[in-house]
Structures are given as C-alpha cells and as structure tokens.
C-alpha cells in the first residue's frame, strides 16, 4: 500500500472521488504527474498554449462554482518559489493577460501553492498557477474557496 504523500503527490489534499483514485494510482508510480512526460498519461484536458516556461490547460477537476478554471503548469519540475526562473514571471503575466482578453473574464482570482504539501494543501507537488473565474451569476452560486494548509488529523 503506497503512502498518501510522497515527493510528487499528496492524496490527502484530493477533493473528488475519481481524483482520489487517479492520485492513488500516480502515487504508486512514484513520478510527477505534472512533469510534461507524464502529463499526457493522466491529464485528459488539452494543452491550450505552450510558452517557454508554462503550459496552459484547464483543471480536470474544476473547483465547484467556477465558470473557468485554468491551470498554468511550470514546464520544469519545480516545487519551491526559488526554483522558478525570474523571467518565468513575465511570461506568466503575459499569458494570463492573454487569457483575460480571450475569455473576457469579469473577475476572479489567482492562486499558486508552493512547497511542502502539508502546508500548501496542493495535491500535485509541481508548481502550477490556478486561475479561477467564479460562476457568480448562477442562482445556486457559492463563493469559490481555495484551501491552503492541511490539518494534522487529515495527514496520512
């Protein structure tokens, strides 16, 4: 039985049932699902754009109450902010500006978890940025919540 947490995955932070299943499988493989050579094995959404530092895709398991949920995944394996090339910041902002123009976002939020997944609450420990536009006009709308950090009792 594989552990729920390794260098690449923290199943304890998974949300959806089928996500938990996929993440357990990946944990058994002990490789990083967001490194490009593995991304195509598990990620069923198309790569919308590829830059020098980032690829843009959509979240396979979008947060509840989102209208858009994009992922910008760093192309090299990286887990800490200090792993990022400084120029990658320029490209990131250029890419999210293009997304805003293309999809006419009314508003939303950006989140990038980093480091130890017990602290970040990340499922995949490979730097990625989440761009979330809430479906705020929907009748049953509730605010989109992004968790940072995992309680002691949920760590396995």
Q: Please answer whether residues 5 and 122 qualify as being in contact, where contact means their C-beta atoms are separated by less than 8 angstroms.
A: no
Binding to Zn ion by residue 84, rule CB under 5 A? Answer: no
Instruction: Examine residue 132 and tell whether it contacts Zn ion (CB under 5 A).
Output: no
Which residues 62-81 are close enough to bind Zn ion by CB under 5 A? 77
Residue closer to Zn ion by CB (options 42, 103) is 42
Q: Give the nearest distance from C-beta 53 to Zn ion in angstroms.
A: 14
Least Å from the CB of residue 128 to Zn ion:
9
Q: Select from 4, 39, 7, 40 the least CA-distant residue to 25.
A: 4
- Return the sign of the alpha-carbon dihedral for residues 34, 144, 99, 16: positive
Indicate whether 36 belongs to the interface with Zn ion (CB under 5 A): no
- Using an 8 Å Cβ cutoff, are 124 and 9 in contact? yes
Contact residues: Zn ion, CB under 5 A: 32, 34-35, 77, 126
């Amino acid at each position: 039985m594989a552990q729920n947490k390794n260098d690449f995955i923290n199943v304890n932070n998974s949300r959806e049932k089928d996500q938990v299943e996929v993440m357990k499988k990946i944990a058994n493989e002990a490789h990083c699902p967001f490194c490009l050579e593995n991304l195509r094995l598990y990620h069923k959404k198309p790569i919308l754009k590829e830059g020098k530092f980032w690829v843009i895709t959509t979240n396979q398991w979008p947060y509840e109450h989102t209208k858009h949920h994009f992922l910008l995944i760093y192309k090299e394996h990286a887990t800490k902010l200090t792993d990022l090339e400084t120029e990658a910041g320029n490209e990131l902002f250029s890419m999210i500006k293009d997304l805003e123009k293309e999809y006419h976002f009314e508003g939303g939020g950006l989140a990038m978890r980093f480091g130890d997944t017990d602290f970040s609450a990340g499922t995949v420990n490979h730097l990625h940025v989440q761009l979330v536009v809430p479906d705020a006009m929907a009748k049953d709308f509730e605010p989109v919540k992004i968790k940072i950090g995992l309680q002691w009792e949920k760590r396995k």
